[in-house]
A and B are shown apart, each in its own frame.
Chain A
């Protein structure tokens, strides 16, 4: 098994490395909106002193950490797998004795992540000097507590995206459904604004959904803004959703593969 993973890694790394120019473009594309939100909210905070307890520096640290968390917890499975089901090229992978999504797909995502993080590092340092955030509320314990939850969130997010992608077994094209799923993330993860500034209803719902684990929860954990009770609650939610998403993916995948008609083959 280890050897298989190692080979998969070599193949996927080489593949991603080949597209490094594309990757840089993707990174640029993805960077812009957090920076815009940062600018908008710091401008409001500067004008009023603070927004709901968030000072300009709070917003700067929030979005600067968001850039890192988003790179760690997000995934691109829809882009690497959606078309395979659509055009039938998944067939070749299905006859291999390893799970396409959980081995090849996963390794491919991690290779992509490694490269984007490598690309992000210098950009992040430049942004650090441009915005000069004050990270004094960040503690080592916060970071250590946030790392496992970010890894859990990546796995949960990956399984959920894989589930959405697998709906292509029924619908062939899945990009519209995925766009809807993406809107849920935007609404409940804290990507646009720290969840505490959202309307009360959205905050209440967000507590029980896995999406805040992707961004809001780890960011606030690192910033040292969560109480011991909130930290516990987040971990409990993470494990519950790990179970739910694993079951959900397993069920959808099993039934989906049965329906798979290998278009184009």
Chain B
């Protein structure tokens, strides 16, 4: 309850900040629509030359685009702005004030900045997912849709955990401004099913920087390609990675000694 209250006050503050730059917000939404147009055009170009991509049809790729946009929104609306603020606070020592507050520091650091207008992107993503599922049609069962949602959440948790570990490394290497570039770099791989990539790239996006775990894997669940054992495995992995991430965060905090004092 406490957490929810905090989250809503974060939202309020961020809405106020966004309202200060209204024109910018409108332009950003228009640009966002332009990129959506481009993404749909590129899918259209692909599917005017083929009927399936790695065994996946157009509808499935539209759903995948929706899932990709969910993860991408997480990246742009939450990960980037908070990382920027966090890096700054490590450099100038204002992290002190964050730690002093009687709230879980990991929660504070990862949720205090939210690019609010991006929430509209979530709506768009959900529309894409629903339209895509309808287009793919025949194979989806309610069970598949449920596992799909479950795995989308576990995938997000895994990426969130990786992010925590990456920014926690800053406690050890103060000058580590590039901590999330590696995540962003491989982001684009989430647009297409990882099954079409050469083995080495597939291994990178599944095990090292697990973008595919949040994009391709949920879609595979939707297609009914995953057995129960595998689904449970991903759920377990998400729990473990979250646990490890919060441990790493705590260890990192212990190393923090303040920059100015």
Size class of the contact patch on chain B:
20 to 34
A192 and B42 contacting across the interface, CB-CB below 8 Å: yes
Question: What string of 1s and 0s marks CB contacts (under 8 Å) between B12-54 and chain A?
Answer: 0000000000001001100100110010001001101110111
The answer to whether B198 has its CB under 8 Å from any CB of chain A is: yes
Chain B residues with CB under 8 A of A47: 50, 52
Question: What string of 1s and 0s marks CB contacts (under 8 Å) between B50-74 and chain A?
Answer: 1011100000000000000000000
Pick the interface stretch among B76-84, B143-151, B177-185.
B177-185
Chain B residues with CB under 8 A of A106: none
Supposing A25-B181, A48-B50, A198-B45 touch, asked if A180 and B188 sit within 8 A by C-beta, the answer is: no
- Among A29, A183, A187, the most chain B Cβ lie within 10 Å of the Cβ of A29
A contact face: mostly helix, strand, loop, or mixed:
helix
Chain A residues with CB under 8 A of B38: 183, 186-187
B201 and A35 contacting across the interface, CB-CB below 8 Å: yes
Chain B residues with CB under 8 A of A36: 188-189, 191-192, 197
Q: Residue of B at shortest CB range from A186?
A: B38
Size class of the contact patch on chain A:
20 to 34
Question: What string of 1s and 0s marks CB contacts (under 8 Å) between A188-200 and chain B?
Answer: 0000110001110
The answer to whether B259 has its CB under 8 Å from any CB of chain A is: no
- A residues contacting B by CB (< 8 A) are 21-22, 25, 28-29, 31-33, 35-36, 39-40, 43-44, 47-48, 51-52, 130-131, 173, 176, 179-180, 183, 186-187, 192-193, 197-199
Q: Which 4 A-B pairs have the closest CB atoms?
A: A29-B185, A43-B196, A25-B181, A44-B50
A sample of 26 inter-chain contacts (CB < 8 A) reads A25-B182, A28-B185, A29-B184, A29-B185, A32-B186, A33-B188, A35-B201, A36-B188, A36-B192, A39-B192, A39-B201, A40-B196, A43-B54, A44-B49, A44-B50, A51-B49, A130-B198, A176-B28, A180-B31, A180-B34, A183-B38, A186-B38, A192-B45, A193-B45, A197-B49, A199-B48
